[in-house]
Structure 1
């Protein structure tokens, strides 16, 4: 029958089933409908990414009626609030850039969808939608209508991503079988056994070798053809083009040789080439998976949450130790790490980290509260429904809303080289072929193929991701948890480091506290206990642990003003805690020490004086850092400890006190305007704005479940004195990248010099290519581990 291709999905059209619309041909009404949807919504540029990129929509009438059941939908949702629902759907058909584009523009196709994000490796799309304007069933049906039917199964929904793609293993197995047998059958001709070969079986064995090579050529190497074809269609030249071209030319040349009895051809070289290249690809895949496994094996966040035991004792536990049924205490500004049920009477939850909306949502006792929310106001208690989802917290941390736009130099280098490498390689191979064709035909084909194979920039392209991936893993093991690999390069560029004082260079665990003023009675201590219990400020937490434990009362009103203090009411009683300016009590502070003042029912009672204990190794750390960096202490406290710090720290250290949160942010901004690359190290509470504004923001974690999503890294407080190591390690990581770039280029220059002169056979080039990948990965791994040895110094 007369056939042509569908404009939408690319499938062949049987003439009798052809559908014409808008001067375009479609294989069915479904494809025509999808095209209409895109056209009506001004999204026809979908077809610019790739010709015929769509999938044929399926007839799904009634298939998703079960999504009308709210109980089922609730099980599928990641997040569920009045005006915001979030769901992640597994979509097997995701395969190219056009898929990503259309799925990240769903809001144009379906009213009610706010945003959609594609996770390409896991083939999942995360959709944020307004349930008042649309519902999950309508979204799923719309996805089906445009050819992206999701896979939904309540039984194994969470296990979909665990399915292993074994196609590469199968291709390697077929290539190995064919390669081995072709080599075996080629032995007579290798050793020129003339009597046996010429008389009877030469033609038979040659055609048998041809037949055995077909599965390797058509099946094992298919990935290279598809990749090269898509690259050419998208008008982009990738490295698979010369590889695919080399394989095809070897096959055609070898076939011509046996047809016209010129020789046995290069089927053994072709099969060996495909086998060794696939082996290199498997090695690359396994290494990436190993790095990913290392990164996800334990929780990213060394932060802790307060767990309430049966005897009402409050203890800090790491978040990945939380189990279903546990009772948790959530203080002001703390992140809710797990889904749970609210036990306290009321709560105000800020879900801006999840939804982008900063308006706090009121919750009542018995309501479900979701991971990723932030408690605002008084302390609350909750019961855990599910154990912590590390992948969810990582996803929250990596949200595009909080990404900093940075210029990644190493990516530019890799992209620039890859961009010009392929056309230059093709040009060199053609010129060399034309030169040799007039001298020796066999050598010309060998040279052409060897150049295409040996000059592979795979090792060049792997240099940066493998180096940074390994460094990321090493830093994670040493309790510095970075958001992504690009942060490492930014660390290497830093020239100015700004430290907060309270809770950053001081430790909460060893602070000595004394009280000055009118003695507090039991009633006063009850109010003080109850007010401090809801705060996350380092001084509040330390004071809460210091004062005698009294009966806890629930405040009727609670407000913590960042950088100033706490105001709470208990029925008719009021209490104010904080700075002297906040309490408007100015008669004290002659010695300018760090103090928390107390006022109850409008009467000033006195103050708790903190004699700060600085972190172990602070002086040595600053001494090391001062040799390479500009160091600044930026504190919201008064300058009472200026003299102590001036004696402890290097002379060039800049000390700035009495800074409000907004002033800290302005200070960072001014440094950046002067051309400095600034790293801010803070506790994540008063410093959230400064952490976000700085080029690199590192949050110190010490049994506090507070972090800023805009920070680039979380450092366990026990590793504070190792900051100099991390900074130096990041610089060495960049050195490793440049050294491995040089090694890759050297390999290509040497390999090409042999290939162009005709001294390199294609089979040898095929063996060398994966070996170069192994060499580069081994080099960066060894160098990274060698640099990491300085950790204890």
Structure 2
């Protein structure tokens, strides 16, 4: 770029003397942005176009409204102490380079800690330090590097869908041009000499040429950009053969028109681009529908306790929460909505939202944000707004919590597409070379037909559409998966491990007996209030048994995972848990599940639990035993061993007295032996085991089990359908493989006609998107048919 224009934004630099790295800049702002890019090896940003940055004068004063705190509060997704999070819609996101630049914002500005792009929705979610970077300056920074966000105060928010109509415009223009070019080509098709006079032939041909220029350079521009970026990154993506085919057709046709050799192939060219865009439009519509189903209809069974006006407590689903409701948040429970703290000590862990495991203390009257986890007893909150289900989906699928359990199936698809592209380019070159020596008039047609007919788009569509529809179907059956890769992992498992309490047992039908010294009113009051703060299945069952007592705010509360809980009110301290935890040393050999109680270090008695197993447990285990190794890992004693031995199939491993760390080590050991393990637990004590397993499923029974540790959430009422869900996952993999086979068969047949010169580019252009659409239809219908077999 010449020295009289700014290298970053393109403004005149005649009166500026700012030179850096032998480049001119109009101001220190542009120079600083370039320096940051240069220091962090991001200068290839300038390869996109000359002066891609926005000019400072264009944005001067444009974002002053972001100095208003009320406006900023409306736009922010999260705002607590130093950390702010916002999701910005950026229409200019169009390729992998955009994603790369925006996800490297932390290198451009140190105050940005994390940024993640959602390419489909063209938005970026940014976490930044509000003490060193204001929202206004963040927006100006984005604008300066060419990514101006669209901010509308009327409809801006996470629930709004910002519609990108560029594909519709490109499709419409390509369709208009295709129709006119076909019309102008009719005299050539039918050789109408009476009408096709010598003086009109050049005019009609030049009109076809003029129609094709905007179709190639506007409607088809994304194929060229994607292919260029891929080649520059040394990646052969699926757009390379498409872009090459379009370019060859355009150059060949233009040469024929310019030198008056023939009419060219502008009908094939515009038809190819029109049908390509039509296929992409169909894909976009279908996948956005699946995403809508995923975000808004596959509600997680997150049970939350609502406090009624009469003081009673009722468990409700999160999407039934309304503004003004009073909620009870227990220890280790997720806050599902933005709310105001009313009662209790709030110690909130926002790592779920920010990725930083630093808990913050909040006082009565403070605002709490959705996604935080309460770590210190029970609190009561007033709801500020109803739950945003897609926001919870986004949190659960946050990249911060992604693990490297296995390579995803979609990466295999990409690798197949890469080798497929290499193979097709080789076939095209060899075939063209052959025809150049035998019949040169067919060589170009053969080359373009091969590139068009053998596009691996159908391969690339198989996995996302199959997995997307399976996610939707499972969601309607109350089995909620974190992401598509869980489906593949579920299809690979060979060992299933179950927790006992709260997993294969049902808390609703559990019978409880108490033996020991009667508790005083104050002791019962403290016991009830202590149990109220815990989410453990035994605590919840016991809490329901003691529901006639009043509730007080405890002075102290602690929960020790796998051992018990303590609570203190005034001078009364309660301990509830295992015998060693409460200091009881004379435990008899009772084989039932027992919870012991002590007050002020004086042993009081024990609660004995008589388990009720979930409906269909025996049939489920007998079905699963045909294909999987089954294991019960329980933290309880062997009291239920005899009953389980009778209930469950032979050779089911039963291990008792297992601490959380024991379960974790058991899974690690068997994974080292080559096992692919599915862990089914309650989501609280089993968090480590769920995270370690290849697939972790948390059972939900009116309990908040929303946790990054689990890969799936299963409604307790559907527990006996687990075998069907696993079978459907395996069916999904078969459907993908069948769609691959169909795609290969189509390509082999199409290549035969293309190589032998029997297939014209226009027919190839029509057949190629039809094959992609047929694969989408096949996968959608197949998954729907498979899903109908679920109860």
TM-score norm. by structure 1 comes to 0.93
Name the CA distance, whole Å, in 1 between partners of 2:259 and 2:153: 61
Distance 2:574 2:387 in 1: 36
Say whether 1:47 aligns with 2:44: yes
- How far did residue 550 of structure 1 move? 1.4
Does residue 1:417 correspond to 2:425, yes or no? no
Superposed displacement of residue 603, structure 1: 3.4
* 3-state SS of paired residue (1:509): helix
The 8 Å contact of residues 583 and 603 in structure 2, kept in 1 or not, is answered as no
- Paired residues of 2:724 and 2:790 also in contact (CA < 8 A): yes
Aligned residue in 1 for 2:681: 682
What residue number does 1:178 align with? 177
**Structure 2 Cα separation of the partners of residues 322 and 437 of structure 1:** 71
Partners of 1:623 and 1:649 within 8 A in 2 = yes
Moved more, 737-746 or 356-365: 356-365
Instruction: Give the equivalent residue in structure 1 for 2:186.
Output: 187
In 2, distance between residues paired with 1:19 and 1:350?
47
- When residues 696 and 265 of structure 1 are mapped into structure 2, their CA distance, relative to the original with a 3 A threshold, is same
For residues 373-402 of structure 1, what are the alpha-carbon distances to aligned partners after superposition, in whole Å with 9 as ceiling and x for unaligned?
111232211000111122221222122232
In the alignment, what sits opposite 2:634?
A: 635
- Deviations 1:217-237, CA, capped at 9 Å, x for gaps: 443333333333333444433
Residues 50 and 640 of structure 1, relative CA distance in 2, 3 Å threshold: farther
Distance 1:48 1:205 in 2: 42
Aligned to 1:240: 239
- CA offset digits 1:332-354 (Å, max 9, x no partner): 11111111111104322222322
Quote the Cα distance in structure 2 between the aligned partners of 1:17 and 1:451: 54
Q: Quote the residue 1:58 is aligned against.
A: 56
* Secondary structure of the structure 1 residue equivalent to 2:343: coil
Write the distance in 2 (CA, Å) between the matches of 1:99 and 1:261: 42
**Aligned pair in 2 of structure 1 residues 159, 541: CA closer, same or farther (>3 Å)?**
closer
Q: Is the 8 A contact 1:624 1:724 kept in 2?
A: yes
Distance 1:29 1:588 in 2: 76
Q: Deviations over 1:177-230 (max 9, x none)?
A: 232233233333322333443576444443444444444344333333333333
Structure 2: distance between partners of 1:64 and 1:157? 15
Deviation (angstroms), 1:657: 0.8
Q: Which residue of 1 aligns with 2:376?
A: 377
Matched residue, 1:361: 360
After superposition, what is the alpha-carbon deviation per residue over 1:144-201, rounded to whole angstroms, capped at 9, x for unaligned? 4444444444333327963322222222222222322332333333223334435764
Could you tell me whether the CA contact under 8 Å between 1:408 and 1:489 is conserved in 2? no
Q: Is the CA contact (8 Å cut-off) linking 1:46 and 1:101 kept in structure 2? A: no
User: Structure 2 matches for 1:688-727, cutoff 5 A?
Assistant: 688-727=687-726
Alignment match, 2:323: 324
Q: CA deviation at 1:424?
A: 3.2
SS of alignment partner, residue 503 of structure 1: coil
Q: Is the 8 A contact 1:3 1:12 kept in 2?
A: no
Higher mean alpha-carbon deviation, 122-131 vs 557-566, is at 122-131
Moved more, 317-326 or 207-216: 207-216
- Output the CA distance in 2 between the equivalents of 1:391 and 1:500: 30
Distance 2:545 2:196 in 1: 95
* Matches for 1:610-629 after TM superposition, within 5 Å: 610-629=609-628
Partner-residue secondary structure (3-state), 1:329: strand
Q: Does structure 2 retain, via aligned residues, the 8 Å contact 1:30–1:56? A: no
Say if 1:330 and 1:56 are closer, same or farther in 2 by CA, change over 3 A.
same
SS of equivalent residue, structure 1 residue 513: strand
Q: Which moved more, 1:54-63 or 1:476-485?
A: 54-63
CA contact (8 A) 2:75 2:157 kept: no
The residue aligned with 1:302 is 301
**Superposition RMSD in Å:** 2.8
Q: Residues 98 and 430 of structure 1: is their aligned pair in 2 closer, same or farther, counting only changes over 3 Å?
A: closer
For residue 21 of structure 1, what is the aligned residue in structure 2? Answer: 20
| Residues 47 and 98 in structure 1, CA contact (< 8 A), matched pair in contact too | no
Q: Which moved more, 1:597-606 or 1:553-562?
A: 597-606
What's the counterpart of residue 474 of structure 1? 473
Task: Select between 252-261 and 724-733 the one with higher mean Cα deviation.
Answer: 252-261
Q: How far did 1:15 drift?
A: 9.1
Counterpart residue number, 2:775: 776
Using the alignment, how far apart are the partners of 1:581 and 1:119 within structure 2?
51
Structure 1 residue 639, shift from structure 2 partner: 0.8
Cα offset, 1:616, TM superposition: 0.5
Q: CA deviation at 1:460?
A: 1.1
Structure 1 segment 48-447 matched on structure 2, within 5 A? 50=47, 52=49, 54-59=52-57, 60-158=59-157, 162-198=161-197, 201-408=200-407, 410-447=409-446
Give the superposition deviation at 1:588: 4.0
In structure 1, distance between residues paired with 2:721 and 2:746: 37
Partner of 1:561: 560
What TM-score does the superposition give when structure 2 sets the normalisation length?
Answer: 0.93
Relative distance call for 1:129 and 1:25 in structure 2 (3 A) is closer
Match of 1:605?
604
Corresponding residue of 1:788: 787
Of residues 636-645 and 568-577 in structure 1, the stretch that sits farther from structure 2 once superposed is 568-577
Query: 2 CA distance for matches of 1:132 and 1:216?
Result: 48
Q: Secondary structure at the match of 1:194?
A: coil
Partner Cα separation in structure 2 for residue 233 and residue 28 of structure 1: 31
Residues 201 and 153 of structure 1, relative CA distance in 2, 3 Å threshold? closer
1:733 aligns with 2:732: yes
Cα distance change, pair 336–244 in 1 and its aligned pair in 2 (3 A): same
CA distance in structure 2 between the aligned counterparts of 1:522 and 1:2, rounded to whole angstroms? 87
- Describe the SS at the equivalent of 1:295: helix
Of residues 257-266 and 481-490 in structure 1, the stretch that sits farther from structure 2 once superposed is 257-266
SS at match of 2:506: strand
Note the C-alpha offset of 1:620.
0.8
Aligned twin of 1:665: 664
Residue 13 and residue 185 in structure 1: after superposition, are their counterparts in 2 closer, same or farther (change >3 A)?
same
Q: Which residue of 2 aligns with 1:551?
A: 550
Whole-Å separation in 2 of the counterparts to 1:255 and 1:18: 46
Mark the runs of 5 or more structure 2 residues left unpaired by the alignment.
none
Distance 1:131 1:197, change over 3 A: closer
| More moved, 587-596 vs 197-206 | 197-206
- CA–CA separation in structure 2 for the residues paired with 1:202 and 1:104: 53
Structure 1 unpaired stretches of 5+? none
C-alpha distance in 1 between matches for 2:461 and 2:341: 48
